Amino acid sequence: MLHQSITRGSHGVKFRADGAAFLGLSLLCGLAGGFLGVVSQNAGPFHALSHGLLLDLFVLIPAFLGGMGRLVLPGELTTLPGLMVRFDRLAFLMLFVGALSAICGARESVAFVTALTLWGLGTTLLALSTIVKCLECRVVRFRDLSPFAWSQLLASLGLIVVAPVFMAGLLHDLVAGHASFASVQYWLSKLQVPVLALVVQLALGAIANLVAFHSTRLKITLPALMAVPGLVVPIVWAHGITVPGLSDDWLLGIGVALPSFGIMALICASLWRRSFALTAALSWSFPALLMLSAGWVLSLFPTRPEAFHSAMLFGAVFALFGCYYRWQEQIPSIAAPHWLGRVHLVAMGVSALAMMPLLPSLQRCGEIGMIVSLFCVAALGARALMPRQALSEASVVKADFS
């Protein structure tokens, strides 16, 4: 049985424009970052830094917290206070301007400082809004919160730790007279560990939400494991900024890899013990788990560090799409046809295989798969907007008739 609480009462939930806006922003940042990554091979370090800022900071965190969080959480929680809705929209504005600044930084390096600062402020507002949602708007006990809600809450708490620390460090470096480009480059590299920990935790939370955990012990164990990469790693990282602590490799191994494999084991054990229907959402979850596992294996080959990073990000993207397909399955009017989901999954799978260092011959196929995947995403977005368009047209007809 699949987990049924991902969107309780979701047949009555309307399309959330805020969530769609964050997902659209993430998609645009991903396209811009990918383009700048190709250009940076011949252009120089400024384009490369713009590529890193967009893909590492402006894609997955806003997509999981701002996009899927605003689509899925309303089905589990009560009505959100209006102030938090304003926080969401202000956060979107900051992230949008920050993404534009990251793109402009390819020509004017001072814009990188603006991009990093706005990302910190925007994610802080997004995290505060999510924390209020999960704490003040819940209608069940903490142990009965879904894995998705737990992942959103813990990742938001982690961001509240990370964002002020790195913004204070960036300000300190700039006041001390350090070059803006070097300062942004340094802090982007320092953010790799906590951001990766939060992304992995959010991805595993989205996957775990598809599985039914009936045991009280499992309901307690799962959030406890999520808390390690979601909250403990940011705290240890923040402590290590000023006081020497664990190296990044140890922090990733102990704080992210071990609890991640524990969460994966719980998911696999729950799937093994119960029957389930292989829906589109669950079909995306299997390659997500495979890519996340492969990422840790690739980390053992230090000659290709980018392969580890790409595998982890691809795994998170698979989990994100699985979460989206699960959400839209609850609303028949926007549910994608099965063939579209299969084509999308195969295209993304080919793109992921082309990224593997052992299969360089598939690079051209990977580019084609990514293009097909983008068309599928566009089709999903068009279907999601259809109910709003139909509603607007109905209102116009009614007005003309009266």
Q: What string of H, E and C letters represents the secondary structure of 69-91?
A: HHHHHHHCCCCCCHHHHHHHHHH
More confident residue, 335 or 103: 103
pLDDT of residue 393: 40
Mean pLDDT of all residues in 375-394: 65
Q: CB–CB of 89/136 below 8 Å? A: no
Q: Which residue has the higher pLDDT, 363 or 23?
A: 23
Structure confidence at residue 57 as a pLDDT band (50, 70, 90): very high
Which one is predicted more confidently, 397 or 174?
174
Cα–Cα dist 312/309, whole Å? 5
Torsion of CA 292, 296, 115, 61, to 10 degrees: 30
What is the pLDDT confidence band of residue 81, given thresholds at 50, 70 and 90?
low
Banded model confidence at residue 154, pLDDT cuts 50, 70, 90 = very high
pLDDT digits (tens, 9 = 90+) for 261-314: 999 998 888 877 776 677 788 889 888 998 888 888 777 776 566 777 778 888
- How confident is the prediction for the chain on average, in pLDDT? 82
Best mean pLDDT range from 76-80, 142-146, 226-230, 359-363? 226-230
Dist CA 128 CA 166 (whole Å): 17
What pTM value is reported for the model?
Answer: 0.88
> According to the 3-state scheme, what is the secondary structure of 315-351?
HHHHHHHHHHHHHHHCCCCCCCCHHHHHHHHHHHHHH
